[in-house]
Amino acid sequence: MASITKRGSSYQVKWREPSGRWKTQTFPKWAQANKHKSKVESELHAGTYLEAGRGEVKVADWVQQQLDARTDLASSTRTRTQGIIDSHIKPKWASDGLRTVEHGDVQEWAKELLQGLSVRSVKKIVNVLSAAFDAAIRDRRVSFNPCAGIRYPKVAPKGKIFLSAEQVHQLAHATFDDRQKLIVYTLAYTGLRWGELAGLRVRDFDPLRRRLNVEQTIVEAGGRVEVKPPKDNEIRSVPMPKFLVEMVAAHVAGQDVDDLIFTSPRGGPLRNRNERGRWFDQAAESIGVPELTPHGLRHTAASMAISAGASVLSVQRMLGHSSATVTLDVYSSLFEDDLDEVAERLDRMHDAAHVPNVFPSGGVRQLPN
């Protein structure tokens, strides 16, 4: 793949790059030329060879190219990523080439961002840059990702808020009208995401089966409202308690099947920020839980379902998690609370079988050493 030719008192290494262009480099000693030849051949064979000039593209331009080329992003994700590029990446990396960025440069940048932003926000910003460098590695423009291994301050995880059924009742009755009250009960007893709630149509309400069918979601992107498939394209059926079925049935009486079940006071799609400002935040504060958000009511729904005896799989399907592993990662502590009940049920099964006591003394047998 590469060759060495003696040129007077020096030695020239010649090789062909992946693009087909020939390259040469001259060395004063044969040992140096042979070392370079071996390095080039190894990189060409491993697919890690970097052609000169390909790492010169500006970081900000490359990050923007990667976003523009994506066809798999939801509009909300695209808008959020573009905001990160415009606000943080372009101002910092507009004049730097890809190959000039070192790990220490990114670590220092993250430290600067942490002066005014949360750790979570900074991680999201750095992740956008990191994804672009991963693409640069695949495109053989750089040999490593300088964002790998960035250190962040440790942050204590936020505790989840689990309302009791009584607190849900208090929250609902701290609102100003029946529409708001029904929104609270629906979020707390079904675990729907806000966009899923906003996207519910009358046709998605099945009172006979006591189900809400989640087939679409309404999202906000760049000030626009868009109708999208549910998260991860996971169409699902969510169970409803009887009292909630009756409330929703009364609410949708006389509406067309294609009408949205929940709308703004003027009849438009629900917007999370508007509803929080109008009434939700005030209601949450009035019951002594000012940090509660509409999305946080998903935790309450999960907690009450688990307390009612729901399995991991049932909670996963109810909440629309991608896997049972995700459900356990988020709510494992709630399922652990059921372990005592499991032990008591095993005791009842043993007693019902009338198994004779193996240890008449009632003591615990000591095993031999």
CA angle, 147 then 329 then 221, to 5°: 60
Q: In terms of Cα–Cα distance, which of 166, 101, 168, 100 is closest to 130?
A: 101
Question: How do the pLDDT tens digits run along the chain, 369 residues long?
Answer: 788 899 999 999 888 877 778 888 899 999 998 898 888 788 778 777 777 777 889 999 999 999 999 998 888 889 999 999 999 999 999 999 998 999 999 999 999 999 999 999 999 999 999 999 999 998 888 889 999 999 999 987 778 999 999 999 999 999 999 999 999 999 999 999 999 999 999 999 999 999 999 999 998 877 788 898 888 778 899 999 999 999 999 999 999 999 999 999 999 999 999 999 999 999 999 999 999 999 999 999 999 998 888 889 999 999 999 888 888 888 887 876 566 666 777 778 878 887 666 555 555 555 555
Return the number of other C-beta atoms located less than 10 Å from residue 204's C-beta.
19
What pLDDT score was predicted for residue 359?
59
Q: Which two tokens stand for residue 6?
A: 């003696």
Q: Where would I find the beta strands (DSSP E) of 217-361?
A: 217-221, 224-228, 236-239
Residues 6+ apart with CB under 8 A from 229: 215, 216, 217, 235
As a whole number of angstroms, the longest Cα–Cα distance in the chain is 100
DSSP code string of 48-97? ----TTTT-SBHHHHHHHHHHH--S--HHHHHHHHHHIIIIIHHHHSS-B
Q: In terms of Cα–Cα distance, which of 145, 257, 126 is closest to 201?
A: 257
What pLDDT score was predicted for residue 293?
96
Q: What is the DSSP letter of 143?
A: S
Alpha-carbon distances of 91 from 14, 96, 134, 291, rounded to whole Å: 41, 11, 21, 33
